[in-house]
Structure 1
Amino acid sequence: MAELVDCVDERDRVIGVVDRSEAVAAGLLYRMSMVLCRDEAGRYLVHRRPESSSRFPGEYSWLVAGAVHTGESYAEAAGRELLEEMGVRASVRPLFKFLCRGELSPYWFSVHEATVDQGSVAPQAAEVAWHGWLSGTELRDAMTSWKFVSDSRDAYRHYLELTMDAAQ
């Protein structure tokens, strides 16, 4: 089944529509939207991808992620992915966006945040093999010892820069 995405330029302006697999194969820029989920205590939702996953099998992420479909906003895609992968409806707030030279292909990477009740999380088995909640310190430690999806690590570095700048 085709997953149509907007092909964009270095300034994130739409220049066409392609199937996501074509964009990846040709190294064309497209858009991805991510959500970092925190509970009321401020812990981060972390999950491990299934070993059967076609992308990054068995690797961890602290983001719920997916491609932005043609005509969809970053925020709409973030909310859709959160519902599809974690079974949660929640308001998402934009945090930052950057041009990611991802391991599979380059794309614009927009990161959002949502506050989620732990009990409402019902992950899709096809997308999530395990999930748990980590404090900021536990997440930092996990980043150094667990195998995280590479673009998830990139986003974590940007997030730390953002939160350090905000703390100063």
Structure 2
Amino acid sequence: MTTADLTSELVERVDEHDEIVGVVSRSEAIRQGWPHRIATVVCRDPAGRTLVHRRPDHAARFPGGFNWLLGGAVEVGESYEEAAARELAEELGVRVFPRFVLKFPCAGAISPYWLGLHEVVVTGPVEPDPEEIAWHDWLTDLELAELVRHEAFVPDAREAFHRYLAESRP
């Protein structure tokens, strides 16, 4: 995503309860520190492994960083689930409707936002967008837990990982 895309991309500014208070450009939300909505997806294969990727070195945010989430901003009028499905199709070429898992307010390394986390089992081939994904692989839970501790792991994704683990435990 380019700076021009951020300037023209409209998002819903939300409050501390995730209630809409207005529509602003994503760049303004980031610049002003206004919370908005981000939808993410955890992809698992039928064997239970998780898709992990590395961001391209030219990415504006977290260049070369490792992540276990795919996703992006929720557009105006879009639900978290709709945004997660759209982002999954754009970034990975997978067209399915992910299952909602949890939502939480994230301070964010760049700006605050509400993060909606979803998951999906991917049974077919993936076609990563090279503008979004430089490398990808399927990791076991143990391999992923080890990678999360790596300094190049995207910090917001690390927080989401720990919340996901806490949510999935009885």
TM-score (norm 2): 0.94
Query: Which of 91, 101, 106 is the equivalent residue of 1:100?
Result: 106
Give the counterpart letter for 2:18 in structure 1. Answer: D
CA distance in 2 between partners of 1:134 and 1:114 (Å): 15
Shift of 1:141: 1.1
Deviates more, 1:70-79 or 1:142-151: 142-151
Shift of 1:111: 0.1
Partner residue of 2:79? 73
Query: Which of 9, 18, 31 is the equivalent residue of 1:25?
Result: 31
Shift of 1:137: 0.7
CA distance in 1 between partners of 2:97 and 2:35 (Å): 27
What's the secondary structure of 2:27's corresponding residue? helix
Identity, in percent, stands at 51
- Note if 1:85 corresponds to 2:76: no
Partner residue of 2:52? 46
Query: How many residues in Structure 1 have an aligned counterpart in Structure 2?
Result: 164
- Note if 1:148 corresponds to 2:153: yes
- Note if 1:132 corresponds to 2:137: yes
Task: Could you list the structure 1 runs, at least 4 aligned residues long, displaced by more than 3 angstroms after superposition.
Answer: none
For structure 2, the 5+ residue unaligned runs are none
Is this contact kept in 1: 2:74–2:80, CA < 8 A?
yes
Is this contact kept in 2: 1:87–1:123, CA < 8 A?
yes
Backbone CA RMSD of aligned residues: 0.9
CA distance in 2 between partners of 1:91 and 1:29 (Å): 25
CA distance in 2 between partners of 1:11 and 1:70 (Å): 17
